[in-house]
Amino acid sequence: MHPILLPTPEIADALATRRPVVALESTVISHGMPYPQNLETARALEAEVRAAGALPATIAVMDGRIRIGLDDEALERLATAGASARKLSRRDLPVAIATGALGATTVAATMIGARLAGISVFATGGIGGVHRGAEISFDISADLDELARTSVCVVCAGAKSILDLPKTLEVLETRGVPVLGFGTDEFPAFYSRRSGLPVDHRCDNVTEVADILRAKWQLGLEGGVLLANPIPAADELDADAMEAAVNQALADAEANNIKGKDITPHLLAALERITGGRSLTANIALIRNNARVAAGVAAALATP
């Protein structure tokens, strides 16, 4: 185990005995939801992973170490810290570790921690990507480059709906990242099951996903795989209504000169306000669904 990593005893034992483990990010706890819903959701995600036959490893930076798995005290500490915890991507990890800061990991930073620990499957809500207007702002999430370089399967409900989905898929294609649809031929649009954009390949079961992961990495093709898992139909929100809400939230962010890594948490909070809480309910439903699927993939990948 890498000296900067601090796994819980349960996770250390699971990794040593090659039992299935699923990594979970921590920005959904600190920056994605208000307290106490963030803590309740974190516990629910871990319960979903366990119920589906794997062990959950929520990743965060605390006291100069990358924690691989959080006990209840650590989850509470992160949840109550909220946005005062640093939001960590690849560039932020060295500073947070060296200074002993409390930090929550984004998709990119969670992938790094998972890979260092030997965890191959990671569940999140939605990845970052190319922001709308990126041809002017150059605002493109580091998640895309991380997917190109770090060999972890990321299970998500697509990219966040505030993003430019066609451009995000173009960048993933350029970076050589396979985009698989789990039970779908279309790339899901986070709150909506459909975007009108095709995935590279449809997988209808976790065994096929595991076979593709093995083939990719056995070929020496480093980098991640994106498994796009649509939000459950019962929890889907109307695509047109959400597009209108996103445009309203983006206009609000521009009026308040909110940019960079602050824009995503601002937009998610704005969407929750505009939709009367329905976006938060859908967000929780889709990430729980992703946790279940990720556990299945991890179990299939652990099977010889």
| DSSP SS3 for 62 | strand
DSSP assigned state of 59: E
Phi, psi of 226, rounded to the nearest 5 degrees = -100, 120
- Among the listed residues 46, 146, 160, 186, the single catalytic one is 160
**142 assigned ligand-binding residue:** yes
CB 111, CB 224: distance < 8 Å:
yes
Minimal CA–CA distance to 58: which of 141, 114, 126, 1? 114
- Tokens 């390949």, located at residue: 201
Tokens matching residue 291: 């946790």
| DSSP SS3 for 96 | helix
- Among the listed residues 25, 48, 146, 272, the single catalytic one is 25
**141 assigned ligand-binding residue:** yes
**87 assigned ligand-binding residue:** yes
Minimal CA–CA distance to 230: which of 268, 200, 272, 187? 187
Annotate 11-47 with b (16+ C-beta within 10 A) or e (fewer).
Answer: bbebbeeebbbbbbbbbbbbbbbeeebbbebbbebbe
48, with CB counted inside 10 A (0-12, 13-18, 19+), is buried
Phi, psi of 257, rounded to the nearest 5 degrees = 55, 45
**238 assigned ligand-binding residue:** no
Rounded CA gap, 267 and 132, in Å? 13
Annotation marks residue 243 as catalytic: no
Annotation marks residue 25 as catalytic: yes
Tokens matching residue 284: 């929780």
User: Which residue positions form the known binding site for Mn(2+)?
Assistant: 139
Which residues are tagged catalytic? 25, 160
Q: Residues marked as binding? A: 87, 107, 139, 141-143
